[in-house]
Chains A and B, each alone.
Chain A
Amino acid sequence: MARRSSPKKPTKASRIRSLVLRLTAVAFMLAISYGGYLAWAATSEFEGRRWDIPAQVYAAPLELYTGRALSADDLVAELKRLGYREDPRLIGPGTYRVGLGRLEVATRGFSFAGDVEPEQLVAITFVGGRIAALRDSSGGRAAIVRLNPLLIGSLFPSHGEDRLIVAPDEIPPLLTDTLKAVEDRRFDSHFGIDPIAVMRALFVNVSSGEIREGASTLTQQLVRSYFLTNTRSGFAAWWRKIREAFMAVALELRYSKSEILHAYVNEVYLGQDGARAIHGFGLASQFYFGKPLGELELHELAMLVAEVRGPTYYDPRRHADRALERRNFVLQRMSDEGLANNDEVQKAAEQQLGLVGNERRGRAHSAFLGLVRRQLSSDYARDDLERTGLVVMSTLDPAVQAAAERGLDQGIAGLGKRAEKFEGAIVVTSPHTGEVKALVGGRDASYEGFNRALDARRPIGSLIKPAVYLAALESGRYSLASVIDDAPIVVELDKKRTWTPSNFDNMAHGLVPMVRALAESYNMATVRLGLDVGLEPIAGTLQRLGLAEKPTLYPSMLLGALALTPIEVAQIYNTLANGGFRVPLRAVRSVVGEDGELLQRYEIEIAQAADAGAVYALNQALVQVMERGTGRTVRQALPEDIVVAGKTGTSDDLRDSWFAGFTNTHLIVAWVGADDNSPTGLTGSSGAGKIWAGVTAALEPNSYSAPAPDGVDETWIDYLTGAPMAARCPDAIAVPVPETDYYPHVFGCNGETGIGARIRSWLDSNRR
Chain B
Amino acid sequence: MKTRSAIARGALLAYLVLGAACASLSSPAGSASRPATTPPPAPSTSGDTRPVPGGDPSATVPPGSPQPPRSEPPGRDVPSARPQSDASGASAALLEQSRAQRAAGSLPAARASLERALRLDPNNAVLWLELGELELQTGNSAQAATMARKAQTLAGRDRRLTDRAEQLLRAAE
A627 at the B interface (CB under 8 A):
yes
Q: How many angstroms between the C-alpha atoms of A639 and B75 in the bound complex?
A: 13
> Which of B5-13, B15-23, B145-153 sits within the interface?
B145-153
CB distance from A409 to the nearest CB of B (A): 27
Interface residues in A624-646 by Cβ distance below 8 A to B read 627, 639-643
A503 at the B interface (CB under 8 A):
no
The answer to whether B56 touches A727, judged by C-beta atoms less than 8 angstroms apart, is yes
* Given known A114-B109, A702-B41, contact A606–B143 (CB-CB < 8 A): yes
The answer to whether B50 touches A623, judged by C-beta atoms less than 8 angstroms apart, is yes
* Given known A114-B109, A115-B112, A623-B36, contact A728–B58 (CB-CB < 8 A): yes
Chain B's closest residue to A590 (CB) is: B112
* Given known A65-B87, A606-B143, A703-B49, contact A728–B55 (CB-CB < 8 A): yes
Chain A's closest residue to B41 (CB) is: A702
The answer to whether B120 touches A707, judged by C-beta atoms less than 8 angstroms apart, is no
Q: How many angstroms between the C-alpha atoms of A289 and B4 in the bound complex?
A: 77
The answer to whether B93 touches A641, judged by C-beta atoms less than 8 angstroms apart, is no
Q: How many angstroms between the C-alpha atoms of A641 and B156 in the bound complex?
A: 23
Q: Mark A698-729, 1 if CB is under 8 A from B, else 0.
A: 00011111111110001010000000001111
* Given known A603-B111, A728-B56, contact A433–B118 (CB-CB < 8 A): yes
Q: How many angstroms between the C-alpha atoms of A435 and B38 in the bound complex?
A: 24
The answer to whether B53 touches A730, judged by C-beta atoms less than 8 angstroms apart, is yes
CB distance from A362 to the nearest CB of B (A): 24
* Given known A608-B146, A702-B41, A707-B153, contact A65–B59 (CB-CB < 8 A): no
Q: How many angstroms between the C-alpha atoms of A706 and B54 in the bound complex?
A: 24
The answer to whether B120 touches A63, judged by C-beta atoms less than 8 angstroms apart, is yes
The answer to whether A641 touches B87, judged by C-beta atoms less than 8 angstroms apart, is no
Q: How many angstroms between the C-alpha atoms of A606 and B131 in the bound complex?
A: 11
* Given known A643-B46, A727-B51, contact A606–B36 (CB-CB < 8 A): no
Interface residues in B81-96 by Cβ distance below 8 A to A read 85-90, 92-94
The answer to whether A604 touches B115, judged by C-beta atoms less than 8 angstroms apart, is yes
The answer to whether B153 touches A641, judged by C-beta atoms less than 8 angstroms apart, is no
A581 at the B interface (CB under 8 A):
yes
CB distance from B162 to the nearest CB of A (A): 9
A708 touches which of B34, B94, B119 (Cβ 8 Å) = B34
A731 at the B interface (CB under 8 A):
yes
* Given known A705-B46, A706-B39, A707-B39, contact A641–B90 (CB-CB < 8 A): no
Q: How many angstroms between the C-alpha atoms of A710 and B86 in the bound complex?
A: 26
Query: Cβ of B88: which chain A residues have Cβ within 8 Å of it?
Result: 67
Query: Cβ of A639: which chain B residues have Cβ within 8 Å of it?
Result: 43
B120 touches which of A65, A640, A704, A710 (Cβ 8 Å) = A65
A731 touches which of B35, B36, B53 (Cβ 8 Å) = B53
Query: Cβ of A605: which chain B residues have Cβ within 8 Å of it?
Result: 143
Q: How many angstroms between the C-alpha atoms of A63 and B17 in the bound complex?
A: 42
B43 touches which of A641, A709, A733 (Cβ 8 Å) = A641
A68 at the B interface (CB under 8 A):
yes
The answer to whether B59 touches A707, judged by C-beta atoms less than 8 angstroms apart, is no
B110 at the A interface (CB under 8 A):
no
B90 touches which of A67, A612, A709 (Cβ 8 Å) = A67
Residue from B40, B50, B115 having most chain A Cβ neighbours under 10 A: B50
Give how many A-B residue pairs fall within 8 Å (CB-CB).
Answer: 157
* Given known A627-B50, A703-B46, A727-B59, contact A68–B87 (CB-CB < 8 A): yes
* Given known A623-B36, A641-B43, A707-B37, contact A728–B54 (CB-CB < 8 A): yes
* Given known A612-B153, A707-B156, A714-B34, contact A727–B55 (CB-CB < 8 A): yes
The answer to whether A435 touches B47, judged by C-beta atoms less than 8 angstroms apart, is no
Q: Mark B48-77, 1 if CB is under 8 A from A, else 0.
A: 011101111111000000000000000110
A601 at the B interface (CB under 8 A):
yes
Q: How many angstroms between the C-alpha atoms of A427 and B94 in the bound complex?
A: 29
The answer to whether B76 touches A641, judged by C-beta atoms less than 8 angstroms apart, is yes
B108 at the A interface (CB under 8 A):
yes
Query: Cβ of A241: which chain B residues have Cβ within 8 Å of it?
Result: none
Q: Mark A594-611, 1 if CB is under 8 A from B, else 0.
A: 000010010111111000
The answer to whether A705 touches B118, judged by C-beta atoms less than 8 angstroms apart, is no
Q: How many angstroms between the C-alpha atoms of A415 and B14 in the bound complex?
A: 56
Q: How many angstroms between the C-alpha atoms of A143 and B121 in the bound complex?
A: 14
* Given known A603-B115, A708-B29, A708-B30, contact A620–B93 (CB-CB < 8 A): no
* Given known A623-B36, A643-B46, contact A63–B29 (CB-CB < 8 A): no
Query: Cβ of A431: which chain B residues have Cβ within 8 Å of it?
Result: 122
CB distance from B52 to the nearest CB of A (A): 9
Chain A contributes a number of interface residues (CB within 8 A of B) equal to 60
Q: How many angstroms between the C-alpha atoms of A614 and B50 in the bound complex?
A: 19
The answer to whether B143 touches A144, judged by C-beta atoms less than 8 angstroms apart, is no
B172 at the A interface (CB under 8 A):
no
B154 at the A interface (CB under 8 A):
yes
The answer to whether B123 touches A727, judged by C-beta atoms less than 8 angstroms apart, is no
B44 at the A interface (CB under 8 A):
yes
The answer to whether A703 touches B115, judged by C-beta atoms less than 8 angstroms apart, is no
Q: Mark B101-113, 1 if CB is under 8 A from A, else 0.
A: 0000000110110
CB distance from A548 to the nearest CB of B (A): 20
The answer to whether B50 touches A643, judged by C-beta atoms less than 8 angstroms apart, is yes
The answer to whether B35 touches A707, judged by C-beta atoms less than 8 angstroms apart, is no
The answer to whether A432 touches B46, judged by C-beta atoms less than 8 angstroms apart, is no
The answer to whether A705 touches B89, judged by C-beta atoms less than 8 angstroms apart, is no
Query: Cβ of B43: which chain A residues have Cβ within 8 Å of it?
Result: 639, 641-642, 701-703
A696 at the B interface (CB under 8 A):
no
CB distance from B53 to the nearest CB of A (A): 5
The answer to whether B93 touches A433, judged by C-beta atoms less than 8 angstroms apart, is no
A581 touches which of B54, B120, B123, B146 (Cβ 8 Å) = B146
Q: How many angstroms between the C-alpha atoms of A441 and B98 in the bound complex?
A: 37
Q: How many angstroms between the C-alpha atoms of A701 and B43 in the bound complex?
A: 8
Q: How many angstroms between the C-alpha atoms of A703 and B48 in the bound complex?
A: 11
A620 touches which of B36, B118, B123 (Cβ 8 Å) = B36
CB distance from A323 to the nearest CB of B (A): 41
Q: How many angstroms between the C-alpha atoms of A714 and B56 in the bound complex?
A: 16
Query: Cβ of A68: which chain B residues have Cβ within 8 Å of it?
Result: 86-87, 90, 120
B35 touches which of A642, A726, A734 (Cβ 8 Å) = A734
Q: How many angstroms between the C-alpha atoms of A431 and B123 in the bound complex?
A: 11
The answer to whether A608 touches B149, judged by C-beta atoms less than 8 angstroms apart, is yes
CB distance from B55 to the nearest CB of A (A): 7
Query: Cβ of B29: which chain A residues have Cβ within 8 Å of it?
Result: 707-708
A66 at the B interface (CB under 8 A):
yes
Query: Cβ of A606: which chain B residues have Cβ within 8 Å of it?
Result: 143, 146-147, 150
A745 at the B interface (CB under 8 A):
yes
A579 at the B interface (CB under 8 A):
yes
A483 at the B interface (CB under 8 A):
no
Q: Mark B126-151, 1 if CB is under 8 A from A, else 0.
A: 00000100000000000100110110
B30 touches which of A144, A701, A707 (Cβ 8 Å) = A707
Selected A-B contacts with CB under 8 Å, 30 pairs: A66-B89, A67-B85, A67-B86, A67-B88, A67-B89, A68-B87, A68-B120, A430-B119, A430-B122, A579-B153, A604-B115, A606-B150, A608-B149, A608-B150, A612-B152, A639-B43, A643-B46, A664-B41, A701-B43, A703-B40, A703-B43, A705-B36, A705-B39, A707-B30, A707-B38, A709-B152, A710-B152, A727-B51, A731-B53, A734-B51
| B positions within 8 Å CB-CB of A | 27, 29-30, 34-41, 43-44, 46-47, 49-51, 53-59, 75-76, 85-90, 92-94, 108-109, 111-112, 115-116, 118-120, 122-123, 131, 143, 146-147, 149-150, 152-156
Given A68-B120, A606-B150, A714-B34, 13 new contacts (CB under 8 A): A68-B90, A115-B109, A144-B93, A431-B122, A432-B118, A581-B146, A601-B108, A641-B43, A641-B76, A642-B46, A705-B36, A707-B155, A727-B57
